Amino acid sequence: MKLIATDLDRTLLNEQHEISEENIIAIRQAQERGIEVVIATGRTYFDALSICKQYDLKTYLITYNGASIHTKEGQPLLALTMERNDVTYMVKWLDENDYYYEVSTDKKIYTPGNGKERLKREADGLKGTKFAIEPSYFAETLDQIFSQIGMTPVKHYGEIMSANEGVYKVFCFSFDDKKRQIAINQFAGMKQFMMTSSLANNFELGHKDASKGNALQIIADQLQISLTQAMAIGDNYNDVSMMERVKYSVAMGNANDDIKKVCNYVTDSNEQNGVAHAIQKFLGRDM
């Protein structure tokens, strides 16, 4: 084992959005043995970096679902931004059809000023149906979404495009499955984008060449490491591209069955230090 890549949300982070001491110790043990560690996330670079600094972790960072790579020293290796005309088309459509969305640049995460109200209207509209949203899930979702660093509400989507910043990712979230599927169908045929999902009820659009798997290959090539000597740990669909490239693919215990089926090992959940258990298993040590 020479390279370990781990997702962040619902993988390295627990449900309180914290990295446990057990996970930190396991990562440092791997690094002490000369193993390169990569954190691969759909989050922005500045948000992921702030989390790493909080825990004094220095790793390669794959962010925006593979559209950006930074070294342990913070040097950029890759930046894949989206065409502005395409972003304008997407954001205009999402805004006019009352979706909650985010537009991530290298500086901010732009979102509608009435974003929480949009999500509340959706949840309220599902009350009394079999798709009703549990209040606890609604609160947890909003906490996860709006806890990100750099959230910048705007009154009109035009403010986003006038900011003249490179866009790495457009994120859309909807509690309403039918409504979300309409949006997916709207953009699914646009081959200039990579579409994936990192949470229940969402989809994300980025540059067509942006994926965690592609980014991990770039890092491995630079380090002259074969991915037959690598492990990838994750819980959701945006992790599959790196799981399929490595020899040792690990699904979190809290991942759904689709993700577990593509992996050759299932570890414990993010609430039970699943990342630490996976690292320790492949390092030959028991927790």
pLDDT at position 285, please?
A: 58
Active-site residue, selected from the candidate residues 7, 47, 235, 239:
7
Please indicate whether residue 7 is annotated as part of the active site.
Answer: yes
Bridge partners, 158 (sequence order)? none
- Check if the beta carbon of residue 39 is closer than 8 Å to that of residue 12: yes
pLDDT tens, the chain, 287 aa long: 999 999 999 999 999 999 999 999 999 999 999 999 999 999 999 999 999 999 999 999 999 999 999 999 999 999 999 999 999 999 999 999 999 999 999 999 999 999 999 999 999 999 999 999 999 999 999 998 999 999 999 999 999 999 989 999 999 999 999 999 999 999 998 999 999 988 779 999 999 999 999 999 999 999 999 999 999 999 999 999 999 999 999 999 999 999 999 999 999 999 999 999 999 998 885 44
Same domain, 150 and 10: no
Same domain, 75 and 90: no
Sign of CA dihedral 83, 72, 245, 45: negative
Cα–Cα distances (Å) from 223 to 160, 230, 270, in that order, read 37, 12, 29
Q: Tokens 């949840």 appear where?
A: 123
3-class DSSP assignment, residue 233: strand
Pairing of β 193-196 and β 151-154: unpaired
Among 179, 207, 235, identify where a domain stops.
Answer: 207
3-class DSSP assignment, residue 95: helix
Q: Work out how many domains the chain is built from and give that number.
A: 2
Same domain, 143 and 62: no
pLDDT at position 198, please?
A: 83
pTM of the model: 0.94
State phi, psi for 68 to the nearest 5 degrees.
-140, 140
pLDDT at position 270, please?
A: 98
Find the CATH number of the domain harbouring 70: 3.40.50.1000
* Cα 277 to Cα 287: distance, rounded to the nearest angstrom: 7
Same domain, 65 and 94: no
Among 207, 230, 247, identify where a domain stops.
Answer: 207
Same domain, 11 and 110: no
Same domain, 99 and 123: yes
Find the CATH number of the domain harbouring 104: 3.30.1240.10
Residue type, 275: V
Same domain, 76 and 17: yes
Could you tell me the residue range of the domain that residue 114 belongs to?
A: 84-207
Q: 132-141 contacts: CB < 8 A, separation 24 or more?
A: 133/175, 138/175, 140/15, 141/173, 141/175, 141/201
Report the candidate in 6, 50, 71 with the shortest Cα–Cα distance to residue 232.
6
Same domain, 54 and 111: no
Same domain, 177 and 274: no
Among 207, 237, 263, identify where a domain stops.
Answer: 207
Same domain, 197 and 96: yes
Same domain, 202 and 89: yes
Express each pLDDT in 155-196 by its tens digit. Answer: 999 999 999 899 999 999 999 999 999 999 999 989 999 999
Same domain, 199 and 215: no
Residues 6+ apart with CB under 8 A from 161: 84, 87, 88, 91
Pairing of β 265-266 and β 230-234: unpaired
Q: Where are the alpha helices (DSSP H) in 156-231?
A: 158-162, 177-187, 212-223
